[in-house]
Amino acid sequence: MAQHNKIYLQAFYYDIALGRDVGPEVDFFLDAYQHYTGSELKSALEIACGPGYHARALAQRGIDTVGLDLHPEMIDFAKNQQGGNADNLSWITGDMRHFQLEQPVDMAVCVFDGFDPLLTNDDIIRHFHSVAENLNPHGLYLIQYTHPRYCSLQDYGSFYYEGERDNIKVIIHWAINNPVFDLITATAEVETKMYVCHNGQESTTVYTAIERLFTPQEFPLLAQLSNRLRVIGWHGDFDLRQPFDNSAASQYMICLLQKI
């Protein structure tokens, strides 16, 4: 569970570079839940929530929501953002491999490659067990992951994020070391650089972490091994009409699983 821990300690700067409107993504969560279950979403969990973009947006839609993250710095930051103290929103600092909510939820979501700190199959199966334990009967779990065209065993790729706010500029350049995946473990050592210009004062920090690559075929197999979840749908974007395929319109790998 070592996914760029140090970079997440700087939640304020992280938010400047990565903050975005997640409204269309939350629309998709609600639509997907209605489509696959025939019911209205009433409660949700955001796993590896970071600054809690989706958790806060879900709560603003009237959904009882929980945000879970390994890093207390991120949870503290999320609480202090607009909507972070809503009555229908709570926060938990914890490990995604073993956690317990006060009440189960209808749907869990894990987006923006929040899944890749799970480095071993045992980690994933333990995680699936915890998710299932905290879902209502027939509840859904949505995982958004990078499309294989953008990150593969042959080419990790390079990712760049930039933002500016209140005379503070932040640039995050992911994978500056041309990472190479180990063909046995499917993991790679990834270096990420954060540049900050804060009121004219510049700083650059490089962070290193181990990440795992997941292929589409692994999700159904690992779900089957967990004996708690099953894959029920795939999408290539936050749009029910967009299949997960190799077309240009398919930008992500979005996997929908359901509690057995």
Residues 9, 93: one domain? yes
Q: What value does the mean pLDDT take over residues 237-260? A: 98
Distance CA 80, CA 203 (A): 25
Both 139 and 43 in one domain: the answer is yes
60: three-class secondary structure by DSSP: helix
pLDDT digits (tens, 9 = 90+) for 116-162: 899 999 999 999 999 999 999 999 999 999 999 999 999 999 999 99
Whole-number Cα distances in Å, 163 to 14, 106, 166, 167, 199: 9, 34, 11, 11, 14
Q: How many structural domains is the chain composed of?
A: 2
Output the average pLDDT for the chain: 95
Task: Give 196's pLDDT tier (boundaries 50, 70, 90).
Answer: very high
Same domain, yes or no, for 205 and 218?
no
82 lies in the same domain as 176? no
Asked if residue 154 belongs to a domain, the reply is no
Does pLDDT of 59 surpass 80?
yes
Percent of the chain with pLDDT over 70: 97
Task: Report CA-CA distances (Å) from 74 to 3, 27, 32, 107.
Answer: 13, 24, 27, 22
Out of 190, 212, 234, pick the residue that ends a domain: 212
Is 131 in the same domain as 102?
A: yes
pLDDT at 185 over 60: yes
| pLDDT classification of 2: cutoffs 50, 70, 90 | very low
- Same domain (yes/no): 65, 129: yes
CATH assignment of the domain containing 27: 3.40.50.150
Average pLDDT over residues 227-256: 99
12 assigned to some structural domain: yes
Q: Which domain holds residue 196?
A: 159-212
Identify the sign of the CA torsion 104, 110, 114, 120: positive
What is the β-pairing status of strands 201-212 and 187-198?
A: antiparallel
Angle, nearest 10°, between helix axes 11-18 and 72-79?
A: 70
Q: Residue 79 pLDDT > 50, yes or no?
A: yes
Confidence check: pLDDT of 115 > 80: yes
Q: What is the mean pLDDT of residues 199-218?
A: 95
- Quick one: pLDDT band at residue 6, thresholds 50, 70, 90? low
Average pLDDT of 195-201? 95
DSSP H or E run through 163: strand 159-165
CATH of the domain at 168: 2.20.25.110
pLDDT at 5 exceeding the cut of 60: no
In a domain, 239, yes or no: yes
pLDDT of residue 4: 46
**Mean pLDDT of the 218-230 span:** 98
Interatomic CA distance for residues 244 and 67, integer angstroms: 27
> Is residue 123 domain-shared with residue 27, that is, in the same domain?
yes
